[in-house]
A and B are shown apart, each in its own frame.
Chain A
Amino acid sequence: MFRTKRRTVALVAAVSTGALLLVVLLAGWATSGSRSVADIDGNPNAVLYAVGHRPTAPGFTATTLTGSRLSLSSYRGRVVVLNFWGSWCVPCREEAPALAVAAQQYQPAGVAFVGVDVRDTTASAEAFVRSFGITYPSVTDASSQITLDFTAVVPIAGTPTTLVIDRTGHIAGAVFGTVTYEELTTILNRVDGKAAAG
């Protein structure tokens, strides 16, 4: 009787160890979440959020490169392209011409473009804006405070990041990393019917 008990104990130990190992292993790849987002053209870093699953864009009021104040809330009722950039950042320089062209095309239709200049200085940022012929305003975010606030709702992992905010102040699409003209226009055309006037 004692022997069977001892064997049971050994069995319990073995099974519990095995279960523990399994949990540790499974935990490694049990990280995927639900899919209320869709990739654009197979790029997992370019996503569209389904209506009803769009994160609310945090508000900010900050100083622009030219010294005036800009509030995101003043754009409510318009579609906003919010581009996080820095003059020091190679992919930002790579995507800047596409953004400049898209802004020229979509601004007349009422789409607003706003830059968030991350970890930069005014002199360098102004030089960048001149170089690439950027016509829309940028607020300075040297401390990354605005970036931090947005990171709470969308997974911004670095600069650049481009967000498209719908008329109700919700984030409809995001490109984490370099944005292409096609990706940006795809998101803009799908935010709602009215925005696709370009």
Chain B
Amino acid sequence: MTDVRAPEAGPSPAAGQDDRQAAPAGTGRPAGRAYGIADWLKWGWRQLTSMRIALVLLFLLALGTVPGSMLPQEGADPAGVQQYYTSHPALAPLLNHLGLFNVFAAPWFAAIYLLLFASLVGCVVPRTFRLAGSARTLPPRAPRHLTRLPHSAEYGTALPPDQAVEVAAAVLSGHGFRLRRCDAPADGWVSAEKGYLREVGNLLFHLALLGVLVSVALGGLFGYKTDRLLVQGDTFADTASALDEIHLGRLATDADLAPFTITLNHFSASYITSGSQRGQPLSYDAQISYTAHPGGPARTDNLEVNHPLSVDAAKVYLIGHGYAPVFRVTDARGQVVYDAPTPFIAASSGSSGNLLSEGVVKVPDAQPDQLGFSGVFVPTAIDVGGTLESAFPAADYPAVSLIAYAGNLGMDSGPPQSVYALDTAGMRRLTADPQSLLPGQSLKLPGGQGTITFTGYVPWVSLAITHDPGQVPALACGIAALGGLLLSFMVRRRRVFVRARPGGPGSTVQVGGLARTDASGGFEAEFASLAAELRSAHDRAVHAQHEEE
């Protein structure tokens, strides 16, 4: 990478020197004059577009992403940020002030990003002009003494010098060299140059790097990521009020959400049943039906891990699953006030908890008192010293354990609540110990407050819906950058000269070769084979002449 920009490091050293020489001559001012603002700006621009600063910026950009992966981020893990605040009350506000909980939106990150962008543009644009210029410039004239070049060969041929040069030119041209012929045939030389692709590759690399930056910016500005928990049998339309979490890019709005509708028809999971891996998931399969837009045809699909659904530029990923026990609650007046599957969330991530899940049931319209339950669902229940534990993640022997509350849920005014948390500040506990229920069993609440029945369970899945318009361009640019890098490493800029002077029966042919950049070596072999080919071409030409005679 260091090598790529080094040969002609932007406008900085070369152009700088030119300017310094030009200024006194052009303006007539003394060389030792004080620097004005314009000079400082020019100096700053040169520094910015220098290879060294670009590398420093690239390094800083990489360094800047480190806190993004070490600390919880607002966008991806708001709960983690809250947790960090409670566990590090002194440090967290400071980190927040530095934008470390939202690194990719922090001003300092944007500054690095934009400076790197400017640096790359400042480097690429002048280079492009220079490449265009060099592509139009002819190779230099052949030096007088080719044997002094790093690679050279000399041999005699029966052809006269002008014919020998003609034959050599044909061979070199056949190898894709650009030629420069001598002005008068009597001079007897031809210059050839090849390897412009090196600079093309170099430029491609820089442009592609710019493209990657632009693509990432596109994704950040116009992309979005949303989440939705979907219970089996339920349908949701992809609109803001139907989503659980929405993270929009800077320039994205709710209106950019793709207007599809998804129904979870069936979800199944299979697990390893024996051995040390027991309980590890084998496969998930979410059978869905969907319409891409309102009124569109209904289609079906199977969502699996790493097999997202592509719909209308958005991708729908299956990112989690769990159980939603179904509860029916009757209040003190005998009215059914709740009858719904209630998603419970796995208490520990991974498979260690065997999907022991926690959740709450809120019944704000129970009369006369509001009712609330906090509970645990276990798919395969075992009793470990009086507490309910899960032995296996599949629902082989499901059970719930509930603690009941009555009073004020705090839902009739105040801030919005999480559906997974119960605010028990205004409630009194109705049951001293958690009460376990099997499917079909009911718990009668003390004091005639009502009844809760655990009627069954259904699975749920959590879906992540993402749209990243920069993803494909970023990939394409990444591939182009790699291609450009390979080109610039593998292609050598090299020149070959051929001179023919009268000598012996015809002429003496001198071949000289020069590789301008030969970091990886290999020109020696190419030159040797080229020289041999020139020689045999000359021999063939002599034979052909003899046969004609």
Could you tell me which residues of chain A, from 113 to 155, have a CB within 8 Å of some CB in chain B?
Answer: 118-119, 121-124, 127-128, 130-131, 142-145, 147-149, 151-152, 155
0/1 per residue, B206-237, Cβ < 8 Å to A?
00000000000100010000000000001111
**A49 CB-CB contact with B under 8 Å:** no
Q: How far, in angstroms, from A155 to B241 measured CA to CA in the complex?
A: 10
CB nearest to A94 among chain B residues: B413
CB nearest to B330 among chain A residues: A123
A90:B338 contact, CB within 8 angstroms: no
0/1 per residue, A22-39, Cβ < 8 Å to B?
001001100100000000
A145:B261 contact, CB within 8 angstroms: yes
B240:A151 contact, CB within 8 angstroms: yes
Q: Which of B49, B117, B254 is the one whose CB lies under 8 Å from A151?
A: B254
Could you tell me which residues of chain B, from 302 to 337, have a CB within 8 Å of some CB in chain A?
Answer: 328, 331, 335-337
Contact (A90, B413) CB under 8 Å given A6-B126, A147-B239: yes
CB nearest to A144 among chain B residues: B242
Residue of A13, A27, A89 with most chain B CB atoms under a 10 A cut-off? A13
Q: How far, in angstroms, from A13 to B45 measured CA to CA in the complex?
A: 10
**B416 CB-CB contact with A under 8 Å:** yes
Stretch of B360-368, B392-400, B513-521 at the chain-chain interface: B360-368
Residue of A24, A31, A94, A156 with most chain B CB atoms under a 10 A cut-off? A24
- Interface residues of chain B: helix, strand, loop or mixed (majority): mixed
B365:A124 contact, CB within 8 angstroms: yes
A13 to chain B, nearest CB (A): 4
Stretch of B14-22, B197-205, B462-470 at the chain-chain interface: B14-22
Q: Which residues of B contact A91 (CB under 8 A)?
A: 416
B113 to chain A, nearest CB (A): 10
A123:B22 contact, CB within 8 angstroms: no
Q: How far, in angstroms, from A144 to B238 measured CA to CA in the complex?
A: 8
**B282 CB-CB contact with A under 8 Å:** no
0/1 per residue, B413-440, Cβ < 8 Å to A?
1111101000000000000000000000
Q: Which residues of B contact A147 (CB under 8 A)?
A: 237, 239, 241-242
Q: Which residues of B contact A28 (CB under 8 A)?
A: 250-251
B9 to chain A, nearest CB (A): 14
Q: Which of B254, B331, B416 is the one whose CB lies under 8 Å from A90?
A: B416
0/1 per residue, B2-43, Cβ < 8 Å to A?
000000000100010011001000000000000000000000
**A104 CB-CB contact with B under 8 Å:** no
**A51 CB-CB contact with B under 8 Å:** no
B337:A144 contact, CB within 8 angstroms: no
Residue of B217, B412, B419 with most chain A CB atoms under a 10 A cut-off? B412
**B443 CB-CB contact with A under 8 Å:** no
B125:A13 contact, CB within 8 angstroms: yes
**A69 CB-CB contact with B under 8 Å:** no
B236:A144 contact, CB within 8 angstroms: yes
Q: Which of B15, B117, B254, B255 is the one whose CB lies under 8 Å from A7?
A: B15
Contact (A21, B365) CB under 8 Å given A9-B125, A157-B254: no
**A162 CB-CB contact with B under 8 Å:** no
Q: How far, in angstroms, from A158 to B246 measured CA to CA in the complex?
A: 11
A148:B259 contact, CB within 8 angstroms: yes
CB nearest to B260 among chain A residues: A148
Contact (A121, B126) CB under 8 Å given A90-B415, A147-B239, A157-B241: no
Q: How far, in angstroms, from A119 to B340 measured CA to CA in the complex?
A: 11
Q: How far, in angstroms, from A10 to B49 measured CA to CA in the complex?
A: 10
**A61 CB-CB contact with B under 8 Å:** no
B415:A151 contact, CB within 8 angstroms: no
B412:A94 contact, CB within 8 angstroms: yes
A10:B126 contact, CB within 8 angstroms: yes
**A14 CB-CB contact with B under 8 Å:** yes
**B411 CB-CB contact with A under 8 Å:** yes
Task: Given A122-B339, A143-B261, A158-B240, output 9 extra A-B contacts at Cβ < 8 Å.
Answer: A3-B18, A9-B125, A17-B121, A88-B419, A124-B363, A127-B365, A131-B367, A144-B242, A161-B241
Lowest 9 A-B CB distances belong to which pairs? Answer: A127-B365, A144-B242, A143-B235, A148-B237, A13-B125, A123-B339, A121-B340, A127-B337, A148-B239
Chain A contacts to B: CB under 8 angstroms: 3, 6-7, 9-10, 12-14, 16-17, 20-21, 24, 27-28, 31, 84, 87-91, 93-94, 118-119, 121-124, 127-128, 130-131, 142-145, 147-149, 151-152, 155-159, 161
29 A–B contacts, CB within 8 A, in A order:
A6-B11, A6-B15, A7-B15, A9-B11, A10-B122, A17-B121, A90-B412, A90-B413, A93-B412, A119-B241, A121-B338, A121-B339, A123-B337, A123-B340, A127-B338, A128-B364, A130-B365, A142-B234, A143-B236, A143-B261, A144-B242, A145-B235, A145-B294, A147-B237, A147-B241, A148-B237, A148-B242, A152-B294, A155-B254
